[in-house]
Amino acid sequence: MNHGELKAKALSNPKVKAAYDDMAPEFALLRQMLKARQTAGLSQADVAALMGTKPPAVTRLESSLGNGKHSPSLATLQKYAHAVGYELQIKLVRT
C-alpha cells in the first residue's frame, strides 16, 4: 500500500477525516514554510543559524506543524519567516 492509498483509507474514517480537516491551517502553514525555505535555498541548519538557534529546533518546528503536538509561538514563526526572507502575516477571516 502506497502513501496515497493509506491516506485515502485513513480519511475514509469520519473521525480521522475530522481531525485531519481540523489541522488544515497547520498543514497549509507548513507547506508555505517549506516552500519559502526551499525558495531561499536554505537548509534547516542555515535557517537555525539565521534564527540564532540549533538545527534540531528548526526540525522540531517544521515537524510540529505536521503532527499537531506543539504550537510554536508567534515570535518563533516571525524569526523563521525573517530567516527565509519573508514576513509573517496573520489575519482573521470571517467564516
Alpha carbon 69 to chain centroid, angstroms: 12
Residue 24: its pLDDT value, please? 87
Q: How confident is the model over 64-75, as pLDDT tens digits?
A: 887 767 789 999
Confidence of residue 54 (pLDDT cuts 50, 70, 90): very high
Residue 19: its pLDDT value, please? 87
Supply the pTM of this predicted model.
0.80
pLDDT surpasses 80 at 20: yes
Domains along the sequence of the chain with CATH: 26-83 (1.10.260.40)
Nearest by Cα to 62 from 87, 92, 83, 89: 83
The mean pLDDT value for 2-31 works out to: 90
